[in-house]
C-alpha cells in the first residue's frame, strides 16, 4: 500500500516538474520574442552623421577621389541629350519618318515608362555585380541604341529604338545614387549630390542648344540623325570613364 502511494507521489512530482519546465521554457521564449520586437532607439550623438566634423566638397573629393562624382555627373549631363533631341527636333523626325508628332510624344512617355520598369532588373544586377560594370554596360547598351536610332528608316524601328533607349537609361536610379552614397562621407553627401545634380541641370540647358546647333549645321530634315550619332559617341567616353571608377 505504501509502495503504491510512494509511486503515485513520485509520478505527481515528475508531472509537476515537467509542467514547470514547459512553462518556464514558454516564458523564456515569449521574453526573447518581446526583446526582439523592442525598438532600439539610439541617442542623437550615436546617429550616423550627427556631431561629426563638417566636410567640405573639396575635402571630400580630395579624400575619396573626384572621379566617381565627375563620371556620374557627366552621365547625368549627357543622359538626356537623346530625349531632348527627339523633343526639339520632333518636326524634322516627323517629316523624315512619316510619323505624326503626337506619336513621337507618346513614344517619349513610353520610353519613360521603360526607364522605370527597367530599374528593377538593373537593381538586381547591381546587387550581384560591381556597380561600375553595371553602369558601364548600361551606358554602352544605351550608346549602341542611340546610334541605331540615328539610322532607323520607319516609325516601327523608331518605336523599338526609343523603348530600348528607355531601358538603357534605367541604370541611373539603382546605380548612381548608391554609388555616391557608398563613396563619399555622410557629412559631404549633400554637397556631392548638389554637384552631380547641378551638372545634370547644365546638361538640360546645353542639350537643346547642342541638338539645334548640330541639326542646323547638318541641314535638311535629316539633321537629327547627326545629333543622335554624336550623342552616341559622347556616351563611349562615359563607358570608359565608368570603368575607371573605384568600387567602394
Per-residue H/E/C for 96-157: HHCCCHHHHHHHHHHHHHHHHHCHHHHHHHHHHCCHHHHHHHHHHHHHHHHHHHCCCCCHHH
| Assessment of whether the complete model's pTM goes beyond 0.95 | no
Q: How many residues does the chain have?
A: 248
Query: What are the start-end ranges of the H helices in the chain?
Result: 2-37, 57-64, 67-79, 81-88, 90-97, 101-117, 119-128, 131-149, 155-169, 177-183, 189-218, 223-243
Residue pLDDT, tens place only, 175-211: 999 999 999 998 888 899 999 999 999 999 999 999 9
pLDDT band at 44 (very low <50, low <70, confident <90, very high): very low
Position 56 confidence tier, pLDDT thresholds 50, 70, 90: confident
Name the residue with higher pLDDT: 210 or 117.
210
**Of the ranges 11-15, 183-187, 213-217, 226-230, which one carries the lowest mean pLDDT score?**
11-15
Reported as a single tens digit per residue, the pLDDT across 126-182 is 989 999 999 999 999 999 999 999 999 998 999 999 999 999 889 988 899 999 999
The residue-averaged pLDDT of 19-33 equals 72
Contact 39, 164 (CB under 8 A): no
Is the pLDDT higher at 142 or at 117? 142
Beta-carbon contacts of 109 under 8 Å, excluding residues fewer than 6 positions away, are: none
Percent of the chain scoring above 90 in pLDDT: 48
Which pLDDT score, from 0 to 100, does residue 37 have? Answer: 66
pLDDT of residue 12 exceeding 60: no
Amino acid at each position: 500500500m505504501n509502495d503504491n502511494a510512494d509511486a503515485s507521489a513520485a509520478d505527481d512530482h515528475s508531472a509537476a516538474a515537467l509542467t514547470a519546465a514547459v512553462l518556464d521554457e514558454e516564458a523564456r521564449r515569449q521574453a526573447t520574442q518581446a526583446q526582439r520586437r523592442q525598438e532600439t532607439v539610439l541617442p542623437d550623438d550615436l546617429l550616423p552623421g550627427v556631431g561629426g566634423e563638417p566636410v567640405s566638397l573639396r575635402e571630400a573629393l580630395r579624400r575619396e577621389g573626384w572621379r566617381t562624382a565627375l563620371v556620374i555627373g557627366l552621365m547625368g549631363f549627357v543622359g538626356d541629350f537623346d530625349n531632348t533631341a527627339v523633343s526639339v527636333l520632333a518636326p524634322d523626325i516627323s517629316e523624315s519618318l512619316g510619323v505624326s508628332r503626337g506619336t513621337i510624344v507618346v513614344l517619349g512617355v513610353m520610353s519613360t515608362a521603360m526607364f522605370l520598369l527597367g530599374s528593377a532588373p538593373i537593381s538586381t544586377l547591381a546587387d550581384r555585380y560591381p556597380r561600375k560594370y553595371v553602369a558601364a554596360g548600361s551606358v554602352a547598351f544605351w550608346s549602341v541604341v542611340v546610334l541605331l536610332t540615328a539610322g532607323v528608316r520607319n516609325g516601327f524601328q523608331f518605336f523599338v529604338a526609343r523603348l530600348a533607349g528607355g531601358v538603357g537609361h534605367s541604370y541611373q536610379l539603382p546605380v548612381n545614387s548608391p554609388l555616391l552614397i557608398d563613396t563619399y562621407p555622410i557629412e559631404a553627401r549633400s554637397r556631392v549630390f548638389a554637384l552631380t545634380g547641378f551638372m545634370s541641370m547644365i546638361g538640360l540647358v546645353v542639350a537643346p542648344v547642342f541638338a539645334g546647333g548640330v541639326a542646323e549645321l547638318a541641314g535638311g530634315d535629316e539633321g537629327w540623325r547627326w545629333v543622335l550619332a554624336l550623342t552616341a559617341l559622347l556616351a563611349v567616353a562615359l563607358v570608359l570613364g565608368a570603368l575607371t571608377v573605384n568600387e567602394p
